Amino acid sequence: MYDEGTAMTADRVTAETTEEVPVAANTTDSDTPSEPRPPVDLTTATGTAAAVQHGSISPEQALDAALERIRARDRKLSAFSLVREEAARAEARAVAERQDLDMLPLAGVPIAVKNNIDVSGEVTRGGSLSGSEVPADSDHPVVRRLRAAGAVVVGLTSVPEFGLWGVTDGPGSITRSPWNTRYSSGGSSGGSGAAVGSGMVPIAHGNDGLGSVRIPAACCGVVGLKPGRGLVPSEVGVDSWGGMTENGVLATTVADTALMLSVLADRPDLADLETPPTLRIGLATAAPTPLTHIDLAWTAAADKAAAAASQAGHIIGVAELPYQGATFALALRWLGNAAREAATVPHPERLQRRTRTHVALGRAVLKSGLLRPSQVDRVEARLLDYFERYDVVITPTLATAAPRARRWHSRPWLANVLANVKFSPFTPLWNLVGWPALSIPMGIHPRNGTPVAAQIAGPPGSESTILRLAAQIEAAHPWQRLAP
């Protein structure tokens, strides 16, 4: 327990919503009030780290607040597959004892990690019962970097099997959007999206092989960034899905996104959000395929982001993206990568029905020889031509709201595929070529109350440009950062 006279209790730190939480003023030995400390904002990583660095709260108090929020909110959302209460308390105490506490960029920040990368001492299940039950004996490189920066791993988030699907559910749990629990939180980083969008933690790790950070970010009303290939250690699954999967960030602000990326990439300069130079921005809202229907609210989200960019002085041109050939190349890789991953598990007989079908088709793809690097080369060549004219492009993040929250894992393979393809046609292109892309909230759908979002993407090395543009859009159109 904490001394009520001088320290912030867990109940006070867990105050609801995005409002800042006041901290009692310091007193001297003679009880003469000194200059009051600034309020503490535990809803952001930057606010939490600053409060810990300045001594306004301890890492243990920041963790207690996160655990209290998880206990209060996760029963409805199923964001976490594991809450590491005792292990996290030990980590928080270790952070508090560090001599460089005031220099740690994520000092005492409670963070969630998607349960498909290794966290020492925990079983890496990847949403499946088919794998090993042996706990990891070391951390994934991105977990090591997060811990070195002072973050405390409070829990592991829910994942659909192998991260294959655009919604997050499995036996015993359905992960839901904190904005409207009738809808899915998206996938495959759906647990991380729900954890951040509900305010249980200020930032979370996710990874993205077909949109798996940006999809749940859009569904849960937060920022989601997939960095370009090679910036952040990947090592996700088998060969990181042939280079399509990157470890990324989910956060409620662009500043938090940039801060966490700077840690994951070991590049402090990426946290700098100074104003970018005048950019040439392509606006591309047309469907990637003729069979895709786009909800007008999602088109409006991209238009709104482009209008904010224009008001900031950037040059907007309406120019559709060259998607030719991308859909076929992506479908082959979605299947083939699943087959490769399934070949490594010790208990393939425990795979879900939809996954078994997907894997069987993937084996046929691998045997056929249809997977060829030239497919990607042609798509990338057309994109390079496009980006001779533009610095970045803005699209809708999704085409429609997420599917309803239900037991998708028990439904047939075709139902899952059609649901995934229908609502998320805009995200996979950037995984195919390994370029950076970000989803940014742009309001609430007028009918179902779920968030809508715009996607900003660019050529290799444009992460800083994308983040700085996103910060300008955020300043022009700030969003409600946490679900009611």
Whether domain 72-476 has CATH 3.90.1300.10: the reply is yes
pLDDT digit string (tens) for the chain, length 484 residues: 323 333 333 333 333 334 344 443 343 344 444 555 667 889 999 999 999 999 999 999 999 999 999 999 999 999 999 999 999 999 999 999 999 999 999 999 999 999 999 999 999 999 999 999 999 999 999 999 999 999 999 999 999 999 999 999 999 899 999 999 999 999 999 999 999 999 999 999 999 999 999 999 999 999 999 999 999 999 776 567 888 999 999 999 999 999 999 999 999 999 999 999 999 999 999 999 988 999 999 999 999 999 999 999 999 999 999 999 999 999 999 999 999 999 999 999 999 999 999 999 999 999 999 999 999 999 999 999 999 999 999 999 999 999 999 999 999 999 999 999 999 999 999 999 999 999 999 999 999 999 999 999 999 999 999 999 999 999 999 999 999 9
Q: What are phi and psi of 409, to 5 degrees?
A: -65, -20
Among the options 78, 158, 177, 188, which is catalytic? 188
> What are the sequence ranges of the domains in the chain?
72-476
Given a contact cutoff of 8 angstroms between Cβ atoms, the answer to whether 88 and 110 are in contact is yes
Q: What pLDDT does 338 receive?
A: 95
- In angstroms, what CA-CA distances link 467 with 38, 258, 283? 27, 7, 17
Among the options 78, 81, 114, 464, which is catalytic? 114
Q: What pLDDT does 314 receive?
A: 98
- Is 212 one of the catalytic residues? yes
- Is 422 one of the catalytic residues? no
Query: In this structure, is the dihedral angle defined by the CA atoms of residues 84, 85, 86 and 90, taken in order, positive or negative?
Result: positive
Given a contact cutoff of 8 angstroms between Cβ atoms, the answer to whether 41 and 199 are in contact is no
The predicted model scores a pTM of 0.92
Q: What are phi and psi of 124, to 5 degrees?
A: -90, 100
Given a contact cutoff of 8 angstroms between Cβ atoms, the answer to whether 481 and 287 are in contact is no
Q: What pLDDT does 402 receive?
A: 96
Q: What pLDDT does 238 receive?
A: 58
Among the options 185, 189, 212, 462, which is catalytic? 212
- Is 30 one of the catalytic residues? no
